Amino acid sequence: MRIGDAKQTYQADEAIWTSSTQKFWFSLLLLILLVFPFLANAYLLYLGCLVGIAVISTTGLNILTGFTGLISLGQAGFMGVGGYTVAWLSLNTGLPFPVALLLAGLMAAAVGILVGLPSLRVKGLYLAIATLAASVFLHFIFAEWEPVTGGMAGLSLEPAHLFGFTFQSDFRMYFIIVPLAVLMVFAARNVFRTRVGRAFIAIRDRDISAEILGINLLRYKLMSFALSSFYAGVAGGLFAYFYRVVTPESFPLAMSIFYLAAVIVGGMGNLLGGILGAAFMTLVPEILKLLTAALTPFYPNAPVFMSPMLEIIFGALIVGFLIFEPHGLAEIWHRIRRFFSLWPFRN
């Protein structure tokens, strides 16, 4: 056999092995997600739902920041738009939750387009400040537009319902949140197989070159803002249905920093990184709570000492990953896969 033929045969075998392995692990993941709610206790179910919501919002922000290169600190504001839209529709129209979630995503996308208008003229730190200002403005609307948002008291809403079935427990909400998270991650994956997704990446890598190649920068930047905000709106709607109450304090600035940290820690421009980052950053506060509970018998002032540590840890994680592992947890996962690539399935 010639060297060229041997190389082609190896590449074909590699592609087949990779495809079959991915199908195996994906099937195993789906099985674990399906079995998990029947084996988990109430606390783990609660965490599972939070991770699912975080995955949706982080995936949306990753589309904007990781794949298009547009830094945003307005994710909490867009989630708030989705949350308040769902709450208002639930109280005033009684629409089924799938319709309310879709409208929440569309409303957030419309707001995202307005916020994204300056992106043609400003970028980098200036765009981050612009999105931060938009988030502060939206927070002001949530607090002051009392006839619609309920002011500081917020809005309470009924549990999600569909065809006479009410999703009023974490167990039932799990079967809304997690399947929707899986669906939206795969939708985002397919976006980057299209011309739109490739345009996003071209803008991130070199916007001037992308414009020379005929890519309409404003159009695709606004599309990225709209898509990212749509994901945030859906996540905010699920957040509202999960907690069944929304207030201005439900979507603080710290939440925007949380999701940006999840994108950076997980790996910008990598959908797997968004999933890993969302899960990791959601579990960090819970690990901190467990650590505080463990230290309290030996150090009674541990709660006082540990209470401000969450923000410090978030900041340290962002700085640490930017310096030591800029590709995030996704790259660490790929290294582990490469290390074990010869075991146990291959000859």
CA dihedral sign of residues 76, 263, 67, 184: negative
Q: How far apart are CA 194 and CA 254, in angstroms?
A: 34
In the prediction, which pLDDT does 7 show? 39
In the prediction, which pLDDT does 20 show? 61
Q: How far apart are CA 1 and CA 17, in angstroms?
A: 22
In the prediction, which pLDDT does 19 show? 56
In the prediction, which pLDDT does 1 show? 40
Exposed e or buried b per residue across 111-145, where buried means at least 16 C-beta atoms within 10 angstroms of its C-beta: bbeebbebbeeebeeebbebbbebbeebbeebbee
| DSSP summary character for residue 159 | P
What is the token pair recorded at 191?
């976006």
84, 233, 280, 342 from 228: Cα distances, Å: 18, 9, 21, 38
DSSP per-residue letters across 167-189: E-SHHHHHHHHHHHHHHHHHHHH
Residue 156, phi then psi, degrees to nearest 5: -105, 145
Could you tell me the fold of the domain covering 40-342? ABC transporter involved in vitamin B12 uptake, BtuC (1.10.3470)
Strand pairing class (245-246; 155-156): antiparallel
**Is 155 in a helix, a strand, or coil?**
strand
**Residue found by looking up tokens 């709450």 in the block:** 87
Query: What end-to-end distance do the CA atoms of the chain give, in Å?
Result: 20
pLDDT averaged per 10 residues in sequence order, the chain, 347 residues: 40 45 75 88 91 95 92 92 93 86 95 88 85 92 90 87 80 91 93 90 88 88 94 95 91 90 90 91 85 80 74 80 85 80 52
In the prediction, which pLDDT does 212 show? 87
